[in-house]
A and B are shown apart, each in its own frame.
Chain A
Amino acid sequence: MIAYKPARIIESLVIPVGALLTGTALFGLFCAALGENGFAVFHSIYRAAFADWYSWQNTLTRAAPLLLCGLCTALPARAGLIVIGNEGAMVVGAIGAVSAGLAFPDAPHIASILLMAAAGMICGGLWICIAASLHHFRGVNAVISSLLLNYIAIALLNHLIEGPMRDPASLNNPSTRPLAAAQHLGLIPGSRVHDGLLFGLAACAAAWFLFSRTAFGFSARVVGGNIRAAQLCGIGIGRVLLILSFLGGACAGLAGMVEVAAVQGRANASVNTGYGYAGILVAFLARHNPAGIVLVSLLLGGIVASGGMLQRAHNLPDAAVMVLQGILFLVILCSETLYGRWTERRLRAN
């Protein structure tokens, strides 16, 4: 038992780092197969993402929605429910936030930010709750139902921006009316990074506190670890699942609010950004651990931020970033099989 714990810590560091290195090496080979120098590609990614303060700001701006969308999958996953409706919850959150903002255009800055955030979070939370309650009450697979909900949310967005909520002045790119200047999210002092990053970090800290310091978080981990044991302890499984799904959806909804209040200034088709799908990857890479989500979001934010650079410097299509993400995801999944191989041997040897 003495040798067990350090071995586990070493394992939980060595395996993900090794998997990341293997994944990048495979992507390097992929680039080499296309006639690009893999090392040059990685150098470009580094320069575009982490080399100086300017690129760090790009990375941090992209990390903000990733933090929030990662939590959307990670929170219910701690209780064993896999939800991938991040994109839909984000879109619905954006719709809710814009509706609230446009309904009270004259509210002061703080009040309207709070109002829009609350509206986005409630809409996103209820959206994911649909998938969780279908799972709990009707036994519907939450992966599939939440994915279908994504497409429904996007259709709803398109309907609203082309129909009832359309600003007649938006001709080629149907949008809602713009938000007032007082309703825009501010920037973190001394940078170009918007306050959404603070929202994301606060949400991760809150999630960490929830899981490691509260009774509810503990019961959620019991539900995720062994549902039969949770039933025997008298934990209300439906309650745990629904609350976690609401919280997760609320995070993605907040990401939608950030997207309209800090980036677009209105709701249009660009609200459907793809951050939701990247959030699934974030959650899985971080193994649904809030602290891990911060690290992985920075890494993926950097990779996403370097998409433009890859296009300009190496003539790689922007989908190259998606390929890199896919390869990383597959390799990380593969590495799951390695956990426990050495530690259990150590345990037996002792």
Chain B
Amino acid sequence: MSAEEPVSEGVLLDVRALRIAFAGAFASTSANTQPLLLAVDGVGFQVAAGETLALLGESGCGKSASALGLLRLLPAAGRMVGGEVRFEGRDLLQLPEAEMRTVRGGGMAMIFQEPATSLNPVLTVGHQVGEVLERHLGLTGRAANERSLELLTAVGIADPARRLGEYPFQLSGGMKQRVMIAVALAGNPRLLIADEPTTALDVTIQAQILELLRSLQAERAMGMLLITHDLGVVAQMATRVGVMYAGEIVEEAPRDDFFSSPRHPYTQKLFAALPDLAQRGGRLETIPGQVPALAEMPTGCRFAARCAHAWQLCRQQSPEWREVAVGHRVRCHLYSEAGGGHSPGDGGVPTGAAELSATIATTARQRAPEPTLLVVDDLRVHFPIRRGILQRTVGYVRAVDGVSLALARGRTLALVGESGCGKTTVGKAILQLIMASGGSVRLLGQELGGQSRSALRPLRRRMQMIFQDPFASLNPRLSVGEIIGEGMHALGMVGKAEQGRAAAITAVLQQVGLDAAATDRYPHEFSGGQRQRIAIARALAVQPDLVICDEPTSALDVSVQAQILNLLGTLQDDLGLAYLFITHNFAVVDHLAHEVAVMYLGRIVERGTVDEVLRSPSHPYTRALLSAVPSPRLAMHPRSQPEYIRLPGEIPSPANPPAGCHFNPRCRQATAVCRERYPETSTLTTTHTVNCHLYAPDQVNSQVGVSVE
């Protein structure tokens, strides 16, 4: 964006050539002498009243730094080194700090990603909302109290008078984010900056919060700057979209244009890397290489090194903005006069080669299922609640309450559900990392429950786990070789002989696509995706038959997620691994799984093949869950969009589940019988079962056809 461009009517925020730098790693007292690394380089955009600009990008692209920079709230190491931020005509970067404080929370407010940590734990909700009212509106006492009540009501909090006196820990995650929104709205801001506002929330809660944000924005005609990595959220919320890569905006377009014809090769790759756009079981498009480090930004186009269409010019000269359609601008040499001959192809859809490999892989996955590897029968994990002087048990948290599963070699079973439904506990109980309270777990026909530690040891080789966060799950003080070798040694796979061990480690590293040189390096030297590869290598090192994957890609960016999913697919085909895939991400399920089990409050409510559960969901909970997922595909084919089923409330406590069917308080189709007894399992097909009174044998004839209108 050139500086001479005039400010158009209604523009609330006008950012031009914003440059934000961070001091090097050892910045504290001597920050001034450290080299500055540009994290945001020449970013410009506008937000008008009543519109939503979504800034889309992967982690580290500078989108959050840009947002914090607008409010001048960068962390200590950050510096604004250039540009202009005009908000309602004033350049914020020139304002004295005292005046800037009237803008923060007053003109512009911000909500953050993690509601659990963004509220002060020791102050009441009323205090945290009232603070803003006092600061910006001068309201205190009764007037402030009344306004706080209005605000809490406006953000959809039931019983607001009671909530005002409560502390954040007494609220659920969704409720905390509502309070955060109330805090942000308290100063009557004209612009709302939302930094990944729903990333930490479950899909049904995410749907509620996005709906709330949309309606509040419409009511108040606020401008909104939405920072996100989720194309689905963009599709639902944005008016316009800006794509950030390595500190620059590379493409900007109105939403519909953006989804129908993304132009920048990076944007096209992002779409292609989405699991639900690819053929199931096939290989996902990935972006080779990594985002360049801040210290070694290339002189030309920053995406050139990873771009399939790059040629000489791209590496030499940074591309200028080109307008390719009305309001649709892109920074790519492909669209300049010089780049006329290089067609990027129509983005979004995997190219021919990818489709071919997908077909091959799909055939491979449809091999006849092998004998059953894992049988879980009526598994229960109850945690006692203790009270009183003698710590007597007064009740149980029924985290897992009668779960049965079966998994064959070479197959993937996805266990899906919202947080708190007990899916991770199932995984841990299968591995015997926590004691089950009842039921049986049999691996290769051998009962695991009740075995001594030494008896379990040989069986541990057969089952391994991959965890969610590769940053937290690898010991930072051990080298990669030690991390991988430890398991082999502990389970007696290799002797102490250095040679055999080193060869085994190299072999397993190659299997996950890492170089043998990684052996002597430490986890912090690797990127998130590489670390997850190390975690997979660690699990594979002992040649397991069963791998329990607990949200293995939810901490990763989309393009990295695609690499990991591809790797898991390849390993399954090559080694015949069985995966128990614990996740809340339906796109991943659709891509990877053969069978799906949906959990709600410690029990499985529906199970079947992927097609049965995802294409013809039967349980009202499954339907609501599926409809709440914001899919970028919907924006491209608006007609296929099913109506969103609003799920009221949140998942109840497993210590005190509702009587009858656990789901009845949130279910639109609940009847008297649902409140009385838990439904039996109804068989729909040989593979598809559901626990819902709608499908009970005596009701089948009258009710099974009822649709969720």
Q: Do A and B come from one complex?
A: no
Residues of A within 8 A of B (CB): none
Question: Which residues of B line the A interface, CB within 8 A?
Answer: none
